[in-house]
Amino acid sequence: MRLPSRTRVGVVGAGPAGLLLAALLRRAGVDCVVLESRERSYVERRQRAGVLEQSTVDALRGCGAAERLDREGLAHDGIELRWNRRAQRIDFPSLTGGRRVWVYAQTEVVKDLIAHDLTAGVPLAFGTPALAVTGADTDRPVVTYRHEGREQSLACDYVVGCDGFHGVVRTAVPASARTTYERRYPYSWLGVLADVPPSCDELIYAHSPRGFALHSLRSPTVSRLYLQVANGTDPADWSDERIWDELDARFAVEGDWRLRRGPLTQKSVLPMRGSVTEPMRHGSVFLAGDAAHIVPPTGAKGLNLAAGDVIELGRAFALRYADGTDRALAAYSDTRLRRIWRAQHFSYSLTTMLHTDPGDPDPGFGVRLQLARLDRIAASRAARAELAENYVGPATR
């Protein structure tokens, strides 16, 4: 593939954020080039979150990349909280004016967007690592990259970093020009994929004296489950039987509900942390997705925040090239940071309400505070509405 030497928007990273931005830009008639260090096969296999907010789904539909999602995605109208052998369903539509979420694996979102972007003619280069970004302070930033064994340059009007926390675009912003706020949690998640139909119609979030557990799903035949474990846990130390027994204990509830067991096909440990880098713009360089923020996965916000970033950027670039106005681009960082910090607070609140803190000097006191919050949600429609509003995300603008 021969890549152009110049483009309006250079996008580094072909995860869901970079691919969605490319789709939005192409729809608006704005030229872009997408550079991705990994090969296509690797990108399409990366396992990540699978819960999509309404605004994310609407954006995928709007750019023409949601045909398979609409056919195969699972619309969810709620979640279930469990604690003390009790269960409380949070009904999204009745509490949020009709909004819901969709369960559709990130791997499938990425496959759909890659197919869409290639069909639309977006220059999309896999196995093409960006090496450096220069000129961030100028109106002509340049991305240096390696493609087909040769070092080449891409001159841009703007560069958008969708290449993660350790990507070259974030590091192109001088350390003196950015501040990163970070919170590391004293526990991790052991995540497993199981070839067994889900034991629930909607996600289950369980508080237990033994630690947190989550029952999710990838499809009608594949379950995705998580257990709170200690930081530094080796998945090899957890046998299949031990995992199923622990899930059984943490999901325990009154009634005849039973956890279906099946062969585990994947095990991995996910550390829990939150971070936000401010500002999300430096000169002609913009940060989006994990390059700017990371949230713990408890509230299913990571992919959706990244989508929100590029939806805002897509709109701002469209205005910039339609009528020359920079107002939306100038407001990008402030606009997104307000939403990002709200999502950080929600993820922090949900995480600390449901997980056992191994460092709590008075765990009995801490647990009773958690139970009081859960009891409040069960007793108060207003409390359930607040949780639901945060979970489903903002309405599409």
Q: Which of 145, 185, 226, 391 is catalytic?
A: 391
List Cβ neighbours of 326 (8 Å cut-off, separation of 6 or more).
Answer: 320
Q: Which of 215, 282, 301, 355 is catalytic?
A: 301
Q: Decide: helix, strand or coil at residue 343.
A: helix
Q: Which of 185, 187, 205, 226 is catalytic?
A: 205
348 included as an active-site residue: no
Q: How far is it, in rounded angstroms, from Cα 194 to Cα 56?
A: 27
Query: Which token pair is 80?
Result: 């279930």
Residue in this structure with the two tokens 């994947």, named with its chain if needed: 266
76 included as an active-site residue: yes
Q: How far is it, in rounded angstroms, from Cα 165 to Cα 178?
A: 13
Query: Which token pair is 1?
Result: 């593939």
391 included as an active-site residue: yes
- Name the residue type at position 342: R
Query: Which token pair is 390?
Result: 């945060």
List Cβ neighbours of 148 (8 Å cut-off, separation of 6 or more).
Answer: 1
Distance of CA 394 to the CA centre of its chain: 15
Query: Which token pair is 8?
Result: 């309006």
Cβ(154)–Cβ(6) below 8 Å:
yes
Q: Which of 16, 76, 141, 282 is catalytic?
A: 76
297 included as an active-site residue: yes
Angle at 58 between CA 24 and CA 272, to 5 degrees: 90
Q: How far is it, in rounded angstroms, from Cα 352 to Cα 336?
A: 24
158 included as an active-site residue: no
Which among 105, 187, 235, 200 is positioned nearest to 351, based on CA atoms? 187
* CB neighbour class for 279 (10 Å; exposed up to 12, middle 13-18, buried from 19): middle
Cβ(104)–Cβ(83) below 8 Å:
no
Q: Which of 16, 198, 296, 297 is catalytic?
A: 297
Exposure class string for 76-94: b at 16+ Cβ within 10 A, else e: bbbbbbbbeeebeebebee
Query: Which token pair is 121?
Result: 């003619």
Q: How far is it, in rounded angstroms, from Cα 79 to Cα 215?
A: 10
Q: Which residues belong to the active site?
A: 76, 205, 297, 301, 391
